A and B are shown apart, each in its own frame.
Chain A
């Protein structure tokens, strides 16, 4: 079971997208005055920080040091939103509209830890036959980060960075992910990919605890 802190930017019904499951419980930390201190307190006993679609990247920049400390402690940061401020170490998100969304197709890059198992990539490409609905812009990943998905032009769309810090960063190029499906189908790729990430983080946590006990 993972304890996940979700940044809450006052977006309508955000809580519905992150209901407790057997895999994870969620607590919400609101943005606004005092956010870095509130976030630090919320992360004290958490396994992961989740920055969902519609988050406050001014607030995240203010909390940049809190995030880095959390990563340095071996914890996980998941960002599914365009981070136009430089609060994520060594990974850069860039908005771009120079490519036609009708030409967007995704390809699997590296796929470590079975993270793409059961994920129908076409569901991330097409919505009612319309392509380019999911991600926006592209990521310039950190050196030695794994690029799980690329777009038509070879640009990083989903990144797993286990190299930059002792922790893990899971990043999408603003493609929303949650244990929730827009079409009511819990098998949809956005839900499956999200659950795969949680399962991987749970396994990593269990492995870490086993090693700690052994020592």
Chain B
């Protein structure tokens, strides 16, 4: 049963992830321009991936905070804007090749591996690259990951009811892109934390029938 909503602005990597056989029974694509309370009814969590439409999200932030107030989880990846989240995200150069040129110096230096998102992961599975850093987070929030300069990569707060977790990682997009081959570890942890269901451990596959479609269901 699908119980995690994946906010979707028509980006292909989001679609690849949500339609993959391993995840498609858990994640429900919700088109951002259609988002209402009704789309989130019965969901345990809402995922807002990297490459989202930040302006469209800001217009519908009341839906998101009502969902949080009901005790649900909202998981935000990549960039965000302070007009819908009480934090300041800033861009930073993306390092995709640290593991070739400087493998002992990954972009994330500190991770709370007791957090269910990261529990049991190896350090390299908990970070592939980051898209920026948070220079301000809510005063009551807890830091979960920092980069080598001490900047905040991941944080969470229960101030709004349920858990609001934000990270500059981009696991959903990169798992959709499929150029990094170890992301099942992170995405399976994420899925289990959000949905209560651990996907099959095999590497993600793709259903060719999901492409060239003439309507979005």
Contact = CB atoms under 8 A, between A and B. Distances in A.
Interface of A: 9-13, 30-33, 54-61, 81-86, 92-98, 101, 127-130, 132-133, 136, 174
Contact of A92 (B33, B204, B206, B211): B211
Contacts of A32: 33, 53, 56
A56 B9 contact: yes
11 contacts: A10-B9, A31-B10, A32-B53, A54-B51, A58-B10, A84-B16, A84-B210, A84-B212, A86-B214, A94-B208, A96-B206
Given A82-B13, A84-B16, 8 more contacts: A56-B11, A57-B10, A57-B11, A58-B216, A95-B211, A101-B179, A127-B97, A136-B179
B96 A127 contact: yes
B91 A12 contact: yes
Contacts, number: 106
Interface centre among A31, A61, A97 (most CB of B within 10 A): A97
Contacts of B208: 94, 96
B178 interface: yes
Interface of B: 8-13, 15-16, 31, 33, 51-56, 79, 91, 96-97, 100-101, 177-179, 181, 204-206, 208, 210-216
Given A10-B55, A86-B213, A81 B100 contact: no
A122 to B, nearest CB: 16
A92 B10 contact: no
B11 A54 contact: yes
Contacts of B216: 58, 61, 85
B97 A128 contact: yes
Contact of B179 (A85, A93, A133): A133
Contact of A97 (B52, B91, B205, B211): B205
Given A84-B15, A94-B211, A130-B97, A11 B51 contact: yes
